[in-house]
Amino acid sequence: MAIDIYIEQGLSATETYTIEIYKGIIPDARCRKAGAIFNPTNVNMRDEEYYCNRFNARSKCALGDLSGRFGVFYAQNHGFNTTWYDYQLSLNGYHSIADRSVFIRNSTGGPVTCANIKFADPTMQRRRASATPTLGTSQALMS
Protein backbone atom coordinates (compact mmCIF):
# COMPACT_ATOMS: atom_id res chain seq x y z
CA MET A 1 0.00 0.00 0.00
CA ALA A 2 1.24 3.49 -0.82
CA ILE A 3 0.88 6.17 1.84
CA ASP A 4 1.18 9.65 0.32
CA ILE A 5 1.65 12.41 2.88
CA TYR A 6 1.40 16.06 1.92
CA ILE A 7 1.58 18.91 4.43
CA GLU A 8 1.47 22.26 2.67
CA GLN A 9 2.60 24.58 5.46
CA GLY A 10 2.86 25.20 9.17
CA LEU A 11 5.90 23.09 10.05
CA SER A 12 9.15 24.35 11.54
CA ALA A 13 12.45 23.53 9.84
CA THR A 14 14.09 22.98 13.25
CA GLU A 15 11.54 20.47 14.56
CA THR A 16 11.25 16.70 14.13
CA TYR A 17 7.83 15.17 13.52
CA THR A 18 6.27 11.75 13.95
CA ILE A 19 3.28 10.13 12.30
CA GLU A 20 1.10 7.45 13.89
CA ILE A 21 -2.11 5.63 13.08
CA TYR A 22 -4.53 5.14 15.97
CA LYS A 23 -7.20 2.50 16.46
CA GLY A 24 -10.17 4.83 16.84
CA ILE A 25 -11.55 7.83 15.04
CA ILE A 26 -11.30 11.42 16.26
CA PRO A 27 -14.70 12.56 17.56
CA ASP A 28 -13.93 16.30 17.40
CA ALA A 29 -11.39 18.83 16.13
CA ARG A 30 -9.15 18.70 19.20
CA CYS A 31 -6.96 15.74 18.16
CA ARG A 32 -7.76 13.72 21.29
CA LYS A 33 -9.43 10.46 22.27
CA ALA A 34 -8.47 8.25 19.35
CA GLY A 35 -7.70 5.24 21.52
CA ALA A 36 -4.48 3.26 21.40
CA ILE A 37 -1.98 3.12 18.57
CA PHE A 38 -3.06 0.70 15.82
CA ASN A 39 -1.48 -2.62 16.80
CA PRO A 40 -3.35 -5.59 15.28
CA THR A 41 -0.35 -7.90 15.73
CA ASN A 42 -0.31 -7.17 19.50
CA VAL A 43 3.32 -6.13 19.81
CA ASN A 44 3.98 -5.44 23.51
CA MET A 45 4.46 -1.66 23.46
CA ARG A 46 4.43 -1.45 27.27
CA ASP A 47 7.57 -3.53 27.51
CA GLU A 48 10.48 -1.39 28.72
CA GLU A 49 12.49 -2.80 25.85
CA TYR A 50 10.01 -1.70 23.15
CA TYR A 51 12.03 0.30 20.69
CA CYS A 52 10.82 0.50 17.15
CA ASN A 53 13.03 1.95 14.46
CA ARG A 54 13.40 1.41 10.74
CA PHE A 55 16.37 -0.92 11.30
CA ASN A 56 14.48 -3.33 13.61
CA ALA A 57 12.60 -6.31 12.33
CA ARG A 58 9.12 -5.12 11.37
CA SER A 59 7.66 -7.75 13.70
CA LYS A 60 8.97 -5.74 16.67
CA CYS A 61 6.93 -2.64 15.77
CA ALA A 62 3.26 -1.80 16.15
CA LEU A 63 1.84 -1.33 12.65
CA GLY A 64 0.53 2.14 13.52
CA ASP A 65 3.97 3.33 14.64
CA LEU A 66 4.83 4.72 11.20
CA SER A 67 7.67 6.95 12.38
CA GLY A 68 9.17 4.07 14.28
CA ARG A 69 8.97 1.92 11.16
CA PHE A 70 9.96 4.58 8.59
CA GLY A 71 11.74 7.25 10.64
CA VAL A 72 10.88 10.73 11.90
CA PHE A 73 10.64 13.53 9.37
CA TYR A 74 11.68 17.15 9.05
CA ALA A 75 9.96 20.04 7.29
CA GLN A 76 10.93 21.00 3.77
CA ASN A 77 10.03 24.67 3.12
CA HIS A 78 7.64 24.56 6.13
CA GLY A 79 5.83 21.53 4.70
CA PHE A 80 6.38 17.86 3.93
CA ASN A 81 5.65 15.63 0.95
CA THR A 82 6.57 11.96 0.65
CA THR A 83 5.31 8.50 -0.24
CA TRP A 84 5.92 5.49 1.97
CA TYR A 85 5.23 1.95 0.81
CA ASP A 86 3.91 -0.38 3.48
CA TYR A 87 3.07 -3.96 2.63
CA GLN A 88 1.72 -4.76 6.10
CA LEU A 89 -1.11 -2.20 6.12
CA SER A 90 -4.17 -2.38 3.89
CA LEU A 91 -7.57 -0.83 3.31
CA ASN A 92 -9.45 -4.05 4.01
CA GLY A 93 -9.15 -7.06 6.26
CA TYR A 94 -7.44 -7.44 9.61
CA HIS A 95 -4.73 -4.83 8.97
CA SER A 96 -7.12 -2.25 7.51
CA ILE A 97 -6.51 1.38 8.44
CA ALA A 98 -9.89 2.55 7.10
CA ASP A 99 -12.03 4.15 9.81
CA ARG A 100 -9.01 4.83 11.97
CA SER A 101 -7.12 8.09 12.57
CA VAL A 102 -3.71 9.50 11.75
CA PHE A 103 -1.76 11.94 13.93
CA ILE A 104 1.28 14.05 13.16
CA ARG A 105 3.07 15.15 16.32
CA ASN A 106 5.95 17.50 17.09
CA SER A 107 9.04 16.51 19.07
CA THR A 108 7.28 17.09 22.41
CA GLY A 109 4.38 14.82 21.42
CA GLY A 110 1.91 17.64 20.83
CA PRO A 111 -0.47 17.22 17.89
CA VAL A 112 0.31 19.27 14.80
CA THR A 113 -2.56 17.82 12.81
CA CYS A 114 -4.84 14.81 12.87
CA ALA A 115 -7.47 13.29 10.63
CA ASN A 116 -9.85 10.38 10.30
CA ILE A 117 -9.03 7.92 7.52
CA LYS A 118 -12.04 7.43 5.26
CA PHE A 119 -12.57 5.96 1.82
CA ALA A 120 -12.00 8.73 -0.73
CA ASP A 121 -14.90 7.50 -2.86
CA PRO A 122 -17.38 5.06 -1.28
CA THR A 123 -17.83 3.32 -4.65
CA MET A 124 -14.08 2.64 -4.82
CA GLN A 125 -13.74 0.96 -1.42
CA ARG A 126 -10.56 -1.00 -0.89
CA ARG A 127 -8.69 1.07 -3.46
CA ARG A 128 -8.12 4.54 -2.02
CA ALA A 129 -8.68 6.31 1.28
CA SER A 130 -7.97 9.85 2.38
CA ALA A 131 -7.52 11.77 5.61
CA THR A 132 -8.67 15.38 5.85
CA PRO A 133 -7.31 17.23 8.88
CA THR A 134 -9.32 18.45 11.83
CA LEU A 135 -6.43 20.62 13.03
CA GLY A 136 -3.80 22.23 10.80
CA THR A 137 -3.29 21.84 7.05
CA SER A 138 -2.37 18.47 5.56
CA GLN A 139 -3.56 15.70 3.30
CA ALA A 140 -2.85 11.98 3.35
CA LEU A 141 -3.83 9.49 0.66
CA MET A 142 -3.59 5.74 1.04
CA SER A 143 -3.92 3.33 -1.87
DSSP assignment of 53-102: -TTS-GGGS-TT-HHHHH--EE-BTTBEEEEEE-SS-BSSSTTB-TT-EE
* DSSP, res 38: P
Please say if the pLDDT value at position 20 is more than 50: yes
Average pLDDT over residues 124-139: 52
pTM above 0.75, yes or no: yes
CATH topology of domain 2-142: Immunoglobulin-like (2.60.40)
